Structure 1
Amino acid sequence: MNLAEQPDHLSPVQISAQPTSVTVARPTLLCLSHLRWGFVYQRPQHVMSRLARDYDVLFFEEPVFADTPLADLETSEPASGITLLVPRLPHGMEPQQIVASQRQLLDDYLAARSPGELLLWYLTPMSLSFTDHLNAQVTIFDCMDELSAFKGAPPDLLEKEKQLLGKADVVFTGGYSLWQAKRSQHQNAHAVPSSVDVAHFAKARSPLPEPADQGLIGRPRLGFFGVIDERFDIELVGELASQRLDWQIVLIGPVVKIDPATLPRQSNIHYLGAKSYAELPAYLSGWDVALMPFAINESTRFISPTKTPEYLAGGCPVVSTPVQDVINGYGDSGVVSIAATSHAFILAIEAALGTRSSADFARRADQVLDGMSWDNTCAVMKEQIECLR
């Protein structure tokens, strides 16, 4: 129909010059975690704080038990766009009561929110016990580690993981070895190794004020930061300290799931405890060599240590035991040495001492880190999620 043929009964319609704005509710991303937000700042915090730019992130932790007559859900906002949810349950609950209480607390909380799209992000399959009824637009399994191989793993974890793999729309793994193990179990599995905030750790490439508890420790200094647990090679660290009394070993991080009394206590080993993420560059700046003394056992078979690129971003040469993902990712880099025995570890440290200040080391480290960032890692994850929405 042309303009001349328009019917007479049509009249002009007034159009406002100011378009009406429409508010679209952001999707809710519920992250179900076995790790606490305030424990060690690592993959979950990096990923969730970035995804919070586009989603309303709820970070649901495992319960804490208290002298309280009723179950309650404690809420807080540890970072922009992140709501932390911690169930507080009475002591003495039976396992079935714990599951039922978490389900009720979570259901009530979600019901009180504006209705909208729900995304489920599992860091642990065990959370299926109280969330298997939720209707999610997309279900994500971020398989950071082979949790079933860790000390104290629940006996039904493998069965829960099998259920989650059947439910998940997409699976991310924390490294390539883990992806090789999971790709046959899920048709949409992707290796998404943990990354690094280069700018944060690059501060350590310049001299920084020494932290008070490290400033009086002599040199050369060999350092480690991370969780000290069953993955930590206690015997190796003890042998290093005994065989090279002139080396000072600085260990930063909480001791978890192992008896602190079993740790070596030579005078040249310094346990400085847990430090905040913001403090780490100041400690790293004062090290001559960074260590990754992981025991080679079932708990480390699939790990892909985040600290490898963090050490390198801080300008520190690295010596590691033969963790498969470290060998595959950094073995030929020229800035990470792999050593399988205490003797080889000592030789590798001796060769690494003094290389930190060289321009060649910095160039090689930058080549390894080229293109690595948490922003890029999260963009890969977000693309997968958006394709499924």
Structure 2
Amino acid sequence: MTRRELVVFSLEAWDDVWRRNQYLIDGLLRADPDLHVLMIEPSNDLLHSLLSGRRIRRGRGTRTAREYDGRLTLHQPDKLLPRVLGPAADASLRRSVRRVIRRLGLSEPALWVNDPSWAGFVERSDRPALYDMTDDWLAAHRTAREHHRITINEDTLMARCRAVVVCSAGLQRSRSRQREVVLIPNAVDVERYRVTRSRPADMPGGPTATYIGTLHEDRLDVELLVRTADALGTEGRILLVGPNSLAEANTERLRSHPRIVMLGARPWTDIPAYLQHSEVLLVPHLVNAFTESLDPLKLYEYRAVGRPVVSTAVAGFRDVGAGVAAVSGAVFPSAVAAATYAHLPTQQYDGIPDWADRVAEFADVLADLWGPASE
């Protein structure tokens, strides 16, 4: 069998909080014993640490994941220069990745770009590339400088990549105007989410409304979440489980509320337990062009456990039907409060997409990169 090599430029690190990249890479490695993957994690910003007054720590560098028989290598580069200084910052990062590729002996890797800031690597490489677009960063609120850089990077990837994969119908609609794209939405390990779990020891007692996912300024409607907590009775709690990327002011608003509990990130293997033991599952997302581009993992995770869901009218949740109430922001707090105390039963829904199916679809796209045209 021919060894297959893949370099993945990821928006997330390989850690205990699994997202699309981890599920797909895990599935691909388990399905193909001849696949070797180098995953490039988000860089470690040395200057930012210095300016923030924190202890300067080097990135995690190059290491081998515990599983997969040494076929998954992880690398977190150090970013030495800020991007405001121009192309030199990105050039330094590209050189560090090329050194790792040479050191690992990867001779003919295909490139999988999830983080568009690596567009320059694709532009300067003769290797076949795939752009896996999971967010519409052009629709996110960014400075003019950042928006200009994102536009250039995306135009490069759309022009140079052999294949473009999008995760949502919204991205398919917008990007199909520019070129052919392949729609591969997200999914869930259905059976794993349905195995009965014990209530987590750190989960608050009493009726609980739970949100699973990264707390992110581009997605989370903090004002709505606070109003929802205000609408709960004294026994109810809102539980937030996931990494916190909110600004300090919004973080303090949530932490100081007596009926909001911020647990922070929890391992991906523990997430089903928090969902199973919640009275209702929440999606208090902003409704805007950016969230319209998403295909939230929580859509599939929530459906797999079968607990009732209250969501704002965002993409993915609007047309689900049974078990999901997609409501306006004005109605959201009262709908959550009602569901929190309704003691609704768990349901089992059919037709929930499994990651095994998505892995097979992604493998088909990658096969074209490793085909005759890339040899």
Normalised TM-score (structure 1): 0.81
Q: Structure 2 unaligned runs (5+)?
A: 51-55
The within-5 A match list for 1:9-48 is: 24-38=1-15, 40-48=17-25
Per-residue deviation, 1:115: 5.4
Once residues 254 and 325 of structure 2 are traced to their aligned partners in structure 1, the CA distance between those partners, rounded to angstroms, is 24
SS class of match (2:318): helix
Which position in structure 1 is the counterpart of 2:151? 158
User: 2:228, 2:336 within 8 Å by CA — same for their partners in 1?
Assistant: no
| Alignment pair present for 1:184 and 2:177 | yes
SS class of match (2:240): strand
User: 2:275, 2:302 within 8 Å by CA — same for their partners in 1?
Assistant: yes
User: 2:16, 2:268 within 8 Å by CA — same for their partners in 1?
Assistant: no
Q: Which AA in structure 1 matches 2:125?
A: L
State, as a whole percentage, how many aligned pairs show the same letter.
Answer: 24
Cα deviations by residue, 1:210-250 (Å, 9 ceiling, x for unpaired): 32221xx3322111110111111111111122122242211
| Alignment pair present for 1:139 and 2:129 | yes
The within-5 A match list for 1:3-152 is: 24-38=1-15, 40-53=17-30, 54=32, 55-66=35-46, 74-78=61-65, 79-80=67-68, 81-90=71-80, 94-114=85-105, 116-136=107-127, 138-152=128-142
SS class of match (2:210): strand
Once residues 129 and 165 of structure 1 are traced to their aligned partners in structure 2, the CA distance between those partners, rounded to angstroms, is 12
Once residues 363 and 150 of structure 2 are traced to their aligned partners in structure 1, the CA distance between those partners, rounded to angstroms, is 27
After alignment, is 79-88 or 93-102 more displaced?
Answer: 93-102
Q: Structure 1 unaligned runs (5+)?
A: 1-23
Match of 2:198 among 209, 212, 220: 209
Report the RMSD for the aligned CA atoms in angstroms.
2.6
Match of 1:244 among 232, 237, 252: 232
Relative to structure 1, the CA distance from residue 146 to residue 89 in structure 2 (aligned partners, 3 Å threshold; closer, same or farther) is closer
Once residues 241 and 309 of structure 1 are traced to their aligned partners in structure 2, the CA distance between those partners, rounded to angstroms, is 25
Once residues 154 and 16 of structure 2 are traced to their aligned partners in structure 1, the CA distance between those partners, rounded to angstroms, is 24
Q: Which AA in structure 2 matches 1:252?
A: V
User: 1:249, 1:269 within 8 Å by CA — same for their partners in 2?
Assistant: yes
Which position in structure 1 is the counterpart of 2:53? none
Per-residue deviation, 1:140: 0.7
Per-residue deviation, 1:95: 4.2
Per-residue deviation, 1:356: 4.5
User: 1:176, 1:191 within 8 Å by CA — same for their partners in 2?
Assistant: yes
Normalised TM-score (structure 2): 0.84
Per-residue deviation, 1:25: 4.2
Once residues 387 and 129 of structure 1 are traced to their aligned partners in structure 2, the CA distance between those partners, rounded to angstroms, is 22
Cα deviations by residue, 1:104-137 (Å, 9 ceiling, x for unpaired): 222222233445432110102210223422221x
Relative to structure 1, the CA distance from residue 72 to residue 279 in structure 2 (aligned partners, 3 Å threshold; closer, same or farther) is closer
Relative to structure 1, the CA distance from residue 353 to residue 174 in structure 2 (aligned partners, 3 Å threshold; closer, same or farther) is farther
